[in-house]
Amino acid sequence: MSMSPARLWRNRIPRYRIVGIRCEDCGRAHYPPRPACPYCGSRNVKTEEMPKRGKVLSFSITYSVPEGFRARSPLVIATVELENGVKVVAPLTDVDPSQVSTGMPVEAVIRRIRESGRYGLIGYGLSFRPLRFGS
């Protein structure tokens, strides 16, 4: 992916704060934000900050990583169901891949996700880590 400052800037709020949408007509919430509700088609949607905790619904441990991710292999990508039922696809972090299981409680953190070359832009984003007792 070729990163540009404007492109990273434009998505900073939804990406760093998990801001999605809630449909004022059908009441369902969705992430990432879209101009219309993916469930009922209504344009009557409002942005809404999503909860930061949830559980792992499913996950994959990727060894055959795409270009730019070799240093992070194996990459654990999960579908997390947040406390309000909204689903998010993001990497898991601070965890041994062999310790990941479905149903595992997790919380959102910001992590460095990608770089464009050694001296280029750094892309940050969402990751989830296991929810530890007391955290």
Is 54 or 130 the residue whose CB approaches other proteins more closely?
54
**Smallest gap, in angstroms, from Cβ of residue 134 to other proteins?**
28
Nearest to 56 by CA among 28, 33, 76, 37: 76
Distance CA 133, CA 86 (A): 23
**Smallest gap, in angstroms, from Cβ of residue 39 to other proteins?**
8
* In contact, 39 and 30? CB cutoff 8 Å: yes
Longest dimension (CA), the chain: 47
Contact pick of 27, 32, 41, 120 for other proteins (by CB under 8 A): 32
Instruction: Give the binding site for other proteins (CB under 8 A).
Output: 1, 11, 15, 30-32, 38-39, 57-70, 72, 74-75, 77-79, 86-91, 102, 113-114, 123, 125-126
